[in-house]
Amino acid sequence: MQAILRETLVEKAKALLADGTVDRVIGWKAGEFAYGLTPAVFHSAEEVESGLVWNDFCGANFSKYLLKKTKKSENKVLVFLKPCDTYSFNQLLTEHRFDRARVYVVGVPCSGMADMRVIRDRCGEGVTGADTDGESMVIHTLYDGDKTLPLSDCLADRCRCCKSKKHVVYDELLGEDGEVLDSTRFDEVERLEAMTPDERFAFWQNELSRCIRCNACRDVCPACTCEKCVFGNPASGVENKAISDSFEEKMFHVIRAFHVAGRCTDCGECSRVCPQHIPLHLLNRKFIRDIDRFYGDYQAGAEVGSRAPLVNYTTEDIEPCDAVAKGGD
């Protein structure tokens, strides 16, 4: 259960709209099901009162939405950001993707967000809703009645190995801020690294074979902000959404991972929105892990204006031949 109640967010949004600090609010609203929340823009106190939602399914990171929303008015837009979201916000500022003066950030502490895919794995299909009851989550199903699970068993992967409870940017903070955590997020990367080359190839071949090229990962990714994407270029030969062959199937995600290397904040949005449940965040975490090993610990978005190791040459940089040797087979 979240430490900050929905009413706190509603009252804060209404107050900022009333005094003219902002003229719009980016938040979450209900979808078809109680757990199917979707990003929304609210323009009035009435809309906020009736539509704004805050619960354990508010996983969406709103940072990328600011690229367009800040251009639609001269006034500020209010955005609610969880700790992990603020890293994406800072990274976009570093890349000069929107005007900071047009955004009012309200930081919201987060206890972790539930993942309906994890819940379905434990409860099967036919899930119609879920309610949080203290440290437990009551899952409503069509076929087997209600089931109760520990809330910790329902969390998304990125929340089970959360890297930080600390907001790195905000104009106003609701509740108390947390700290940067000693995360276990690279454990799965190390498991993949321990595989043989053939085993790793088979793992990724199996995962990426499910890709339908819907481009959801690209569209939601805060690091993918090119005005003209290479995968939308008719002359590239890879612009089609449908996979034409196994080579394109693999290269789409590998190329995208290279494009965001050093800029990915590990927000996990790519995996969250993937309709095929491909763990795309593991590709990005591998790049983050290697950058840390080769150039020293670096967290994209921790500070505005920080230069990523891949664009910040020093004479002590690792040589390509050494990087290949350290990477193994």
Q: What pLDDT shows up at residue 120?
A: 86
Ramachandran region, residue 173 (left: φ > 0; alpha: ψ -120 to 50; beta: rest): beta
The rounded Cα 84 to chain-centroid distance in angstroms is 8
Q: Tell me, what's the pLDDT at 325?
A: 62
Bridge partners (DSSP) of residue 147 are 139
Nearest to 178 by CA among 304, 78, 84: 84
Cβ contact 272:59 at 8 Å? yes
In angstroms, rounded to a whole number, what is the distance separating the alpha carbons of residues 95 and 262? 12
Query: What pLDDT, on the 0 to 100 scale, is given for residue 238?
Result: 65
What's the rounded Cα separation, in Å, for the pair 113 and 177?
17
Other CB atoms within 10 A of residue 226 CB: 11
b/e burial code for range 34-66 (CB count within 10 A of at least 16 → b): bbebeebebeebebbeeebbbbbbbbbbbbbbb
Nearest-angstrom CA–CA distance, 148 and 295: 45
Q: Could you tell me the CA-to-CA distances from 262 to 225, 266, 300 in Å, in that order?
A: 15, 10, 7
Contact between 90 and 302 under an 8 Å Cβ cutoff? The reply is: yes
- Give mean pLDDT in consecutive 10-residue pieces for the chain, a chain of 329 residues: 91 97 96 86 97 94 95 92 97 96 97 89 84 83 89 90 96 95 93 95 91 91 90 72 65 90 95 94 95 92 92 82 62
- Strands in 38-42's sheet, in edge-to-edge order, are 38-42, 22-29, 76-81, 103-107, 172-173
Q: Where are the domains of the chain?
A: 6-115+155-173, 124-154, 185-327
At 241 the pLDDT is 62
> Whose structure tokens read 């805050």?
54
CB half-sphere exposure, 97, CA atoms < 13 A? 22
pLDDT, position 324 = 67
User: Rounded to whole angstroms, how far apart are CA atoms 253 and 164?
Assistant: 26
Of residues 268, 222, 170, the one with CA closest to residue 65: 222
Instruction: Name 150's bridge partners.
Output: 136
- The angle at the Cα of 300, spanning 296 to 304, to the nearest 5 degrees, equals 115
Q: Tell the burial category of 277 from Cβ atoms under 10 Å away from its Cβ (0-12, 13-18, 19+).
A: exposed
- Supply the pLDDT for residue 66: 96
Four-point Cα dihedral 247, 248, 252, 258, nearest 10: 40
Residues 6+ apart with CB under 8 A from 20: 75
Phi, psi of 140 (to 5 degrees): -95, 125
